[in-house]
Amino acid sequence: MPVSIHDDPPILVCADLQVEYLTPGRRHVILGGDAATARCLELLTLWRSNLWPVMHLKRIAQAAWFNPASRLTDWIAEAKPRPGEMTFEHPLPSAYSSSRFVDYMSNIHNVRCVLAGFSLDETILATAVDGFHRSHRYEVITDAVACRQPGTGDAAAYKRAVVNVIGNFATIHSSAELIRTSGAVAV
């Protein structure tokens, strides 16, 4: 869908950039987390320098799955939300499991969101599908997302398969494509 200069800039949605996902030996450690984090930080820098809206999602869940009292659920220091940036905690994979997130998204017009971060096979997938069913437009940045190591099989093939599924519900881009066209979304 073409972007008009009259459109609001897209919202950068940083999904689950939490310490837990980068801690070796942890159950939820993310494959390629350092590379995805670097790309997310590049996107955050672009959005912040243009004063575009940034939203942070934080996964919280039952203590048996992901202990919310642990410091491991804290934000990655470099990606920590700044004053004025929106934050939403979500108990289930989809950000739409947060009633505050649902209220916010239903009250803005021309919703366009750029998704980056962790939990590609959970938070990003579920949020893109839920958003699609609400007519919200999402773009997933392939080199700025990552997922857990699958139990078996080729991790790169697993990531490609998840991205292909998400492509049915969201537009897929690389960070280079997004940054190259960033002037087109300036207001």
pLDDT in tens, 147-176: 876 666 787 888 899 999 999 999 999 988
| Predicted model pTM | 0.86
Q: Is the pLDDT of residue 186 over 60?
A: no
Q: For residue 113, what are the contacts with CB-CB under 8 A and spacing of at least 6?
A: 10, 11, 12, 13, 55, 131, 136, 137, 138, 139
Q: For residue 149, what are the contacts with CB-CB under 8 A and spacing of at least 6?
A: 29, 31, 155
Q: Is the pLDDT of residue 56 over 90?
A: yes
Q: For residue range 61-97, what is the model confidence (pLDDT) as tens digits?
A: 755 455 556 666 788 889 999 999 999 999 999 999 9
CA distance 102 to 180: 31
pLDDT at 46: 92
Q: Is the pLDDT of residue 121 over 70?
A: yes
What domains lie within the chain, and their CATH numbers?
12-185 (3.40.50.850)
How many Cβ atoms from other residues are within 10 Å of residue 109's Cβ? Answer: 6
Segment 119-125 shows an average pLDDT of 91
pLDDT at 68: 56
| Percentage, residues of the chain above pLDDT 70 | 83
Q: Is the pLDDT of residue 134 over 70?
A: yes
Q: For residue 12, what are the contacts with CB-CB under 8 A and spacing of at least 6?
A: 43, 44, 47, 52, 53, 54, 55, 113, 114, 116
pLDDT at 34: 84
CA distance 34 to 177: 20
Pairing of strands 112-117, 86-90: unpaired
| Percentage, residues of the chain above pLDDT 90 | 52
CA distance 170 to 129: 8
What single-letter amino acid sits at 177? E
Q: For residue 116, what are the contacts with CB-CB under 8 A and spacing of at least 6?
A: 12, 13, 14, 15, 36, 39, 40, 43, 140, 141, 144, 145, 175
Work out the mean pLDDT of the chain and round it to a whole number: 84
